[in-house]
């Protein structure tokens, strides 16, 4: 049943991506009003990691308002419209210089930090479109309708782990993953754990291997998370193939995950 549900959610993402690519320019025009509308009515439960309605508001009324459906084509309850500082960093610096790290604040504040020209505004829209409409399309839709919340205590089981527990996976919630120098999901150089890496930073390092967890989400459903990360060195070609696979539900918030990355880099 888990597999059928998982495939169904992934396939639903295909038409949703198309809708996001088509309608996001409209969402972009109303982005601040959409966020304000939702923030007044909805908040995230930090403990359970799901959306909850604020007192005095009804969920069914949201579905009658166009701002809610615009919200589903964004990246959720945040004003990070153009992505993190590491996302398309070269373009940010080239186009906006010293303001590269504060674009959302500058473009969505009545008192802008610089005199934005029409070209600047188009460039900002391009970054927002790439981040919200293409890279993370319909993220809020998945959060709203399919997020099941974090794992329940004492429900986590490690089905298998390679390398075994006791090596780099002495913490059950460290999963095989790729982490990069400029940000969790972006950069040119992989970030690995070193002897002086602080414990709090271990989760931000690359870990190779494969691992599968099963757990119960906050909504009471039994789910799984499978992760695989490997580097294949193609020495005759002076290249390396960096692989990352992630399937199932994220134990952190009960969101469906799908990563199928194969990246070629110079060795």
The mean pLDDT of 123-143, rounded to a whole number, is 96
Q: How far apart are CA 188 and CA 194, in angstroms?
A: 18
Q: Where are the alpha helices (DSSP H) in the chain?
A: 2-29, 31-41, 59-62, 66-71, 89-96, 103-107, 118-128, 139-146
Confidence of residue 165 (pLDDT cuts 50, 70, 90): low
* pLDDT tens digits for range 69-127: 999 999 999 999 999 988 998 999 999 988 888 899 889 886 655 677 899 999 999 99
Percent pLDDT > 70 in the chain is 95
Q: How far apart are CA 140 and CA 51, in angstroms?
A: 10
pLDDT at 152: 96
Tell whether the torsion through CA atoms of 182, 186, 187 and 191 is positive or negative.
positive
The mean pLDDT of 127-153, rounded to a whole number, is 96
Confidence check: pLDDT of 149 > 80: yes
Q: How far apart are CA 137 and CA 113, in angstroms?
A: 28
Confidence of residue 132 (pLDDT cuts 50, 70, 90): very high
* pLDDT tens digits for range 57-67: 999 999 999 99
pLDDT at 113: 59
pLDDT at 166: 63
Burial of 198: CB neighbours in 10 Å, binned 0-12, 13-18, 19+: exposed
Question: With contact defined as beta carbons under 8 Å apart, do 237 and 190 qualify?
Answer: no
Confidence check: pLDDT of 135 > 90: yes
Mean of pLDDT over the chain: 92
Question: With contact defined as beta carbons under 8 Å apart, do 241 and 232 qualify?
Answer: yes
pLDDT at 184: 66
The mean pLDDT of 119-145, rounded to a whole number, is 96
Q: Comparing 75 with 184, which gets the higher pLDDT? A: 75
Burial of 180: CB neighbours in 10 Å, binned 0-12, 13-18, 19+: middle
pLDDT at 170: 78
Percent pLDDT > 90 in the chain is 73
């Amino acid at each position: 049943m888990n597999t059928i549900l998982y495939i169904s959610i992934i396939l639903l993402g295909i038409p949703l991506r198309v809708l996001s690519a088509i309608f996001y320019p409209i969402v972009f025009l109303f982005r601040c009003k959409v966020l304000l509308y939702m923030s007044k009515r909805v908040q995230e439960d930090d403990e359970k990691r799901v959306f909850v309605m604020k007192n005095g508001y009804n969920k069914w009324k949201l579905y009658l308002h166009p701002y809610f459906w615009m919200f589903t084509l964004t990246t959720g309850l945040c004003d990070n419209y153009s992505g993190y500082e590491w996302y398309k960093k070269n373009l940010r610096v080239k186009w906006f210089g010293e303001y590269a790290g504060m674009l959302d604040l500058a473009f969505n504040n009545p008192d802008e930090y610089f005199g934005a020209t029409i070209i600047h505004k188009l460039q900002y829209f391009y970054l927002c479109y790439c981040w919200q409409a293409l890279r993370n399309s319909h993220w809020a839709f998945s959060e709203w309708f399919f997020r099941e919340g974090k794992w329940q205590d004492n429900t986590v089981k490690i089905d298998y782990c390679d390398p075994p527990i006791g090596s780099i996976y002495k913490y059950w919630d460290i999963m095989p993953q790729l982490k990069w120098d400029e940000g969790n999901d972006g950069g040119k150089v992989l970030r690995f754990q070193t002897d002086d890496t602080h414990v709090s930073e271990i989760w931000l390092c690359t870990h190779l291997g494969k691992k599968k967890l099963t757990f119960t989400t906050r909504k009471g459903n039994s789910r799984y998370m499978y992760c695989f990360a490997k580097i294949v060195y193609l020495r005759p070609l002076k290249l390396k193939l960096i692989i990352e696979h992630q399937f199932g539900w994220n134990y952190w918030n009960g969101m469906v995950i799908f990563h199928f990355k194969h990246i070629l880099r110079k060795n």
